[in-house]
Structure 1
Amino acid sequence: MTNDAATEAPQGEEFGFQADVAQLLELMTHSVYSEREVFLRELISNAADACEKLRYESLSNERLAAQAGAPLITITLDKEKRQLTIADNGVGMSRDELIAALGAIANSGTRAFLEKLGKEGAGESSSLIGRFGVGFYSVFMVADLVEVATRRAGEDEAWLWSSQGKGAYSIAPLAGADAPPVGARVTLHLNAESEEFLEPWRIENIVREHSGAVSTPIDLIDEPGKEPRRIADGVALWTKPKSEITQEQYADFYRQLSGGFDEPALIAHWRAEGRTEYTVLAFVPGARPFDLFEPSRKSKSKLYVRRVLISRDVELLPAWLRFVRLVVDSADIPLNVSREMAQKSPVLASIGKAVATRLLQELGKLAENEPEKFAQVWENFGAVIKEGLHEDPSRRDGIFAIARFASTKSDGKTRTLKDYVADLRENQTAIYYITGDDAKRLAASPQLEGLRARGVEVLLLDDAVDAFWVTSALGFEGKPFKSVTQGQADIDLIPKVEAEAEEAAPAENVGDLVTALKETLAESIEDVRVSTRLTESAACLIASDKGLDRQLARLLAESGQTALLGKPVLEINAKHPAVTALATSLREKGREGAADGMYLLLDLARAADGEAPVDPAAFARRLGALIARGV
């Protein structure tokens, strides 16, 4: 289609938004947001990305290289028409790209945003913009009509996209004289409540706060006919010396990079020289991203080559550092490298390894110098960092140095493995732990009783990954990790903190009881033995000496590997009144007469382990009969 044809017959087409998008626009229009200025940050980010994309594409396309001028974003204010315009000389969009970019959201961001908004309410919704990929749609918080005039670099046709944000949009050909030479021009017809965004000082403040560190210059035209003036220099922040960058500028850039509104907990900025030269600017977020544990989530690292954006989501860091927001700029990667080739580049792999090592060192420094700030980092991301203990053995020692754990001695806080080893009891040869999904419930587990009586500290590991790394890590400072729910306790040589005033006598015929329990409960348990770990409870369940840790077996069973769950071992406390009474019942009534008590003993052990009785109905009947006897 030629420009003349477009002038003669500007036929427009009407399109309906996807259902999710239409619902989002309704919320944008009618909900009250405390920080509506977020729309400008989103538009500037889109414009800067378009400029970067044109620079990238022009490297291998001479025609585009001829069109690509110095990247520039221009904001124009027109109070008389109540219009705010943001123009860029970036790559622009074709008709199909307009439909794909502005008529739909390619991922589940909208649905997640709507669900989150429903839970948190409009009062918190401003902090959610930018975290769910809603980007461009924030313009409808301030505008009654939005028009996007655009011409794709390298193409003759130009297009006008327009919408009132009420469920539909239109796309029409645009005459050449009315279209930008290249790039896009977004015109917002502001609503009556948004006239503040026509004030030059207001726009300058927003740009300084949210977009001052973008790598594209930004000019402001206060009113039509006036000369533009530069309000952001477009110098990439990471290229500046650290001494010239303020904490506010770092924080502004972080928010632009992450799309969030929190303050970074850690900022790491360095230049590496040697065989490979590169500059790194990394941020550890101050708040946990909503999708941190999504299986598809990967590290979000931006890769630049001499300030040319090669990829905005290169997989540079290991998965256990996926929460870090990162920019890497290197001159040692070929400029014509494709995004796919970048993923396989040996130079990039080398950079990734070095960056991961340095970030681990920076986290170690934070833990040493600012323990309170690091404690918050660990609370947000400790469960992810611990994945490295299982997946990244080469850095295991470094992760152990910063890892923090709840324990039976931590009193609601966390302790390091060095703290643990420093408090080892006499004759203690292992680091004891228990895994599960709730630290408070773990602390009350019967398997801890014998260790508690001996003053032995036990790590309370309540993250899912804990069940895996403890099986692959050999130990710490020569002390192996040992589960308190697996195998023999082997704690007899560790002296008790206080000798018992008067120990109860064990059941007289405990051997007969063990045999009867094995025979009666054979379908549910692998073995029965007298426990050395119980001091207060009547019974507990543990894994066999060669079996998997109970929590690990449960996790594997949930993923379909039920054969690995196996049968537990039942340990009984021969000095407990319930066990003594059961042994007496066995002697007087025989195995059948004592069967109900044996099943109750097993179900009590299962309940203490967080499991349901083997047969809930039978358990209720037996317990009811016990109550009826006045016990």
Structure 2
Amino acid sequence: MYKKKFLSFQTEVKQLLHLMINSLYSNREIFIRELISNAVDACDKLHYNALNNDALYEGDQNLFIEIEVNNKNNILVIRDNGIGMTKEEVISNLGTIAKSGTADFLAKLSEQQKKDAKLIGQFGVGFYSAFIVSSEVTVRTRLAGTKFKNGTQWYSKGEGEFSIEPLMLNKHGTEIILKLKNNAKEFSEEYKIKEIIKKYSDHINIPVKMITVQNSKIKDKYGKNLPTWLSVNEANALWKKNKNEISDDEYKNFYKHITNDYMEPLTWSHNKVEGNLEYTSLLYLPSRAPIDIYQKEGIRGLKLYVQRIFIMDNIDQFLPIYLRFIKGVIDSNDLSINVSREILQKNPQVEKIKSALTKRVLDMFNKLAKDEKNYQKFFDQFGSILKEGLSEDYVNHANIASLLRFYTTYNDKHIQNQTLDNYISRMKEGQHKIYYVVSDSFKSACNSPHIEIFRKKGIEVLLLVDRIDEWVMMNHLTEFKNKKFSDISKGDLDLGNIEDDKEKKNLIEHTKSKENLISRIKKVLGDRVADVRFTHRLVDSPACIVISEKDMGFQMRRIMEAANQILPNTKPIFEINPQHLIIIKLEKNIDQKFNDLIEVLFNQAILAKGGTLEDPVNYIKRINNLLLNDSI
């Protein structure tokens, strides 16, 4: 038997407790929801583990959560008869933060954000919310199926350390005792706790009980009511109820319960399927992306129940990876209660459910799209992730493409709110392609020299700035409704039937009459370019570079190189505008300044395309020399 020990919190926990104690939560009552949610998880885990070992119940299969208040001593107690914890689990779960997302979150908060931040429950640290209202927290727990002497007591004032000591406990489960602060006495009032439970935890599938005298059906020999435990919540699985009987507030509160997200969901879909497969799904679309949305090890997936018995958390087999932000519950009547993650991966029933749920989610997006304001919120948060579906989901490819939103030159607004159908409806007569340009930012895309001719002719161009865009367009979105896509910074300029014959003729004449200028430029640039040629795609810019149709753009090359991919060297084509004053004056220049100007124009074209310079210092020197000398 070990003796009482004093241990220090992990650094991230200390930071978190500091934020908690300084009112990180704007709505203090949420701590009850967090602690009840943890208790529900403990009961669910016991239920699942007991499927193969009935002895874990220790003679009592009625799982519950109990809450006691003592307004005289300012005490609040929350206990459950769930799975409980070992000493090691207590130290690990209550002394450290295992989730990297929490540390990332803390690191990113500015001082002002730390003051204004609201809930942190979504980061999986709900237990620490107890310190918002408590000056002291005591946890007593014992793992189900272990001996009475294996209990553990954890105690802390939230000041950087905690104590841990052995304890004899007759019952398995966990009991949390909160010594409330003077400014939190309201949470020792029975009516207040009942109000909060009804608000946040009414439809969890475990009864939450409180001691009552007034409504007790048990009486003493004198006919007086005796204290008894009565359920405060409905304790009925929300997803099993008829959706016509569920209010929007109940749906929203249930979402907060299963996700620990303080923000309301944007929308949800509740459906019961009967027939060859029988299951119920309740799927939610969050209003913002979690900070670990791009991490492979990030928490994702649904809660799985089989005939209302909780089986597993974070099951990602029922939705494709590009829908990893969807939260919710699936309850199947067909799967075995002994199902494992490995079995799920090979189960044909799961594949059928996955296909149906995927269509259900996309249908949810389509319905949301009728509400432009909320759909914009969705796409701003999850649009780049939705694009991944173009490579993963061939069956729903067209549907996904129609759900995408884009920046375009139609309005030059910094908001992705234009659909491909919008674009097609505005196409010029004789236009056969959907034109786009890829860039690192919205501003650089708007000002790209490659779109100058398109602006002049009133042809709309999609402005693609997400890191994933070029990869998607090259490999997975080559056409939409029989209209092919064309990257205007690649290959020859192709305006279809909108091409101006006069401009073509002038270009040919310039090329013939100024072959000497082209030769001189080629001599300066050497083997750094595949070709030098005149172009009529430029209006205001003197030069630009283009690459071949099959070559990667600069943005895609950077992504691949960052992943340590070895890529073949490619040479761009240097195009010059024969109508530009700089190019006209260049012909008359025969000294060193000609070489400097060509180098500057070439480097400028690389920068405008989103590339990086091999020798930026030399580029700056050339610019400075030209500024010191007379004009061309």
Normalised to the residue count of structure 1, the TM-score between the two structures is: 0.91
User: Which residue is equivalent to 1:28?
Assistant: 20
User: Which residue is equivalent to 2:128?
Assistant: 137
Distance in 2, Cα, partners of 1:607 & 1:510: 26
Which of 581, 587, 602 pairs up with 2:585? 581
Cα deviation for residue 239 of structure 1 reads: 0.5
Distance in 1, Cα, partners of 2:100 & 2:112: 18
Which of 153, 156, 171 pairs up with 1:163? 156
Cα deviation for residue 236 of structure 1 reads: 0.9
8 Å CA contact retained: 1:268, 1:362: yes
Distance in 1, Cα, partners of 2:261 & 2:189: 25
Cα deviation for residue 530 of structure 1 reads: 1.4
Whether 2:94 is the aligned partner of 1:90: answer no
User: Which residue is equivalent to 1:433?
Assistant: 436
From the superposition, tell whether residues 15 and 251 of structure 1 become closer, same or farther in structure 2 (CA, over 3 Å): same
Distance in 2, Cα, partners of 1:18 & 1:627: 58
Kindly provide the CA deviation profile for residues 408-427 of structure 1, in whole angstroms up to 9, marking residues without a partner as x: 10442521111111222232
User: Which residue is equivalent to 1:67?
Assistant: 59
User: Which residue is equivalent to 1:6?
Assistant: none
Cα deviation for residue 161 of structure 1 reads: 1.9
8 Å CA contact retained: 2:503, 2:536: no
Distance in 2, Cα, partners of 1:311 & 1:32: 31
Cα deviation for residue 523 of structure 1 reads: 4.4
Which of 307, 317, 320 pairs up with 2:322? 320
The alignment covers a number of residue pairs equal to: 613
Once the two structures are overlaid, the 10-residue window that deviates more, 477-486 or 144-153, is 144-153
Once the two structures are overlaid, the 10-residue window that deviates more, 558-567 or 480-489, is 558-567
From the superposition, tell whether residues 618 and 277 of structure 1 become closer, same or farther in structure 2 (CA, over 3 Å): same
8 Å CA contact retained: 1:277, 1:332: yes
Cα deviation for residue 304 of structure 1 reads: 0.8
User: Which residue is equivalent to 1:293?
Assistant: 294
From the superposition, tell whether residues 468 and 572 of structure 1 become closer, same or farther in structure 2 (CA, over 3 Å): same
User: Which residue is equivalent to 1:209?
Assistant: 199
User: Which residue is equivalent to 2:349?
Assistant: 347
Distance in 2, Cα, partners of 1:433 & 1:79: 67
Runs of 5+ unmatched residues, structure 2: 215-225
Which of 413, 417, 421 pairs up with 1:418? 421
Cα deviation for residue 356 of structure 1 reads: 0.8
Cα deviation for residue 103 of structure 1 reads: 1.9
Kindly provide the CA deviation profile for residues 430-463 of structure 1, in whole angstroms up to 9, marking residues without a partner as x: 1111112212220110001112222211111111
Once the two structures are overlaid, the 10-residue window that deviates more, 569-578 or 211-220, is 211-220
8 Å CA contact retained: 1:492, 1:532: no
Distance in 2, Cα, partners of 1:134 & 1:361: 33
Cα deviation for residue 44 of structure 1 reads: 0.3
User: Which residue is equivalent to 1:617?
Assistant: 617
SS of the residue 1:419 aligns to: helix
Distance in 1, Cα, partners of 2:583 & 2:391: 41
User: Which residue is equivalent to 2:456?
Assistant: 453
Kindly provide the CA deviation profile for residues 286-335 of structure 1, in whole angstroms up to 9, marking residues without a partner as x: 22323323343353311111112211111122121111112111011101
SS of the residue 2:91 aligns to: helix
From the superposition, tell whether residues 110 and 196 of structure 1 become closer, same or farther in structure 2 (CA, over 3 Å): same
The AA in structure 2 aligned to 1:165 is G
Once the two structures are overlaid, the 10-residue window that deviates more, 602-611 or 53-62, is 602-611
Distance in 1, Cα, partners of 2:112 & 2:133: 22
Whether 2:75 is the aligned partner of 1:99: answer no
Once the two structures are overlaid, the 10-residue window that deviates more, 11-20 or 566-575, is 11-20
User: Which residue is equivalent to 1:280?
Assistant: 281
Once the two structures are overlaid, the 10-residue window that deviates more, 411-420 or 113-122, is 113-122
Matches within 5 A, 1:28-427: 28-31=20-23, 33-65=25-57, 67-127=59-119, 129-156=120-147, 157-175=150-168, 179-221=169-211, 226-297=227-298, 299-315=300-316, 316-367=318-369, 369-412=370-413, 413=415, 414-427=417-430
Distance in 2, Cα, partners of 1:19 & 1:32: 17
User: Which residue is equivalent to 1:7?
Assistant: none
User: Which residue is equivalent to 2:520?
Assistant: 516
Distance in 1, Cα, partners of 2:249 & 2:170: 35
SS of the residue 1:303 aligns to: strand
Kindly provide the CA deviation profile for residues 73-124 of structure 1, in whole angstroms up to 9, marking residues without a partner as x: 1110011222100011111112222122112222224423422444543432
Distance in 2, Cα, partners of 1:550 & 1:23: 41
SS of the residue 1:92 aligns to: coil
From the superposition, tell whether residues 438 and 160 of structure 1 become closer, same or farther in structure 2 (CA, over 3 Å): same
Once the two structures are overlaid, the 10-residue window that deviates more, 219-228 or 234-243, is 219-228
The AA in structure 2 aligned to 1:169 is F
Kindly provide the CA deviation profile for residues 380-400 of structure 1, in whole angstroms up to 9, marking residues without a partner as x: 211111111122222110101
Cα deviation for residue 498 of structure 1 reads: 13
Distance in 1, Cα, partners of 2:109 & 2:309: 36
Distance in 1, Cα, partners of 2:569 & 2:483: 27
Kindly provide the CA deviation profile for residues 461-510 of structure 1, in whole angstroms up to 9, marking residues without a partner as x: 1111111111122301111111011111122631569999x999958853
Distance in 2, Cα, partners of 1:310 & 1:19: 33
8 Å CA contact retained: 1:553, 1:565: no
User: Which residue is equivalent to 2:594?
Assistant: 594
Which of 470, 474, 485 pairs up with 1:471? 474
The AA in structure 2 aligned to 1:168 is E
Which of 541, 564, 587 pairs up with 1:560? 564
Give percent identity, aligned residues only: 35
From the superposition, tell whether residues 362 and 58 of structure 1 become closer, same or farther in structure 2 (CA, over 3 Å): same
Normalised to the residue count of structure 2, the TM-score between the two structures is: 0.91
Distance in 2, Cα, partners of 1:480 & 1:565: 28
Cα deviation for residue 23 of structure 1 reads: 3.1
SS of the residue 1:67 aligns to: coil
Which of 433, 442, 445 pairs up with 1:442? 445
SS of the residue 1:522 aligns to: helix
The AA in structure 1 aligned to 2:601 is L
8 Å CA contact retained: 2:58, 2:144: no
User: Which residue is equivalent to 2:465?
Assistant: 462
From the superposition, tell whether residues 530 and 119 of structure 1 become closer, same or farther in structure 2 (CA, over 3 Å): farther
Distance in 1, Cα, partners of 2:336 & 2:461: 52
Distance in 1, Cα, partners of 2:67 & 2:382: 39
Cα deviation for residue 210 of structure 1 reads: 2.4
Distance in 2, Cα, partners of 1:311 & 1:19: 30
User: Which residue is equivalent to 2:9?
Assistant: 17
From the superposition, tell whether residues 34 and 58 of structure 1 become closer, same or farther in structure 2 (CA, over 3 Å): same
Cα deviation for residue 32 of structure 1 reads: 6.0
Distance in 1, Cα, partners of 2:282 & 2:128: 29
8 Å CA contact retained: 1:31, 1:122: no
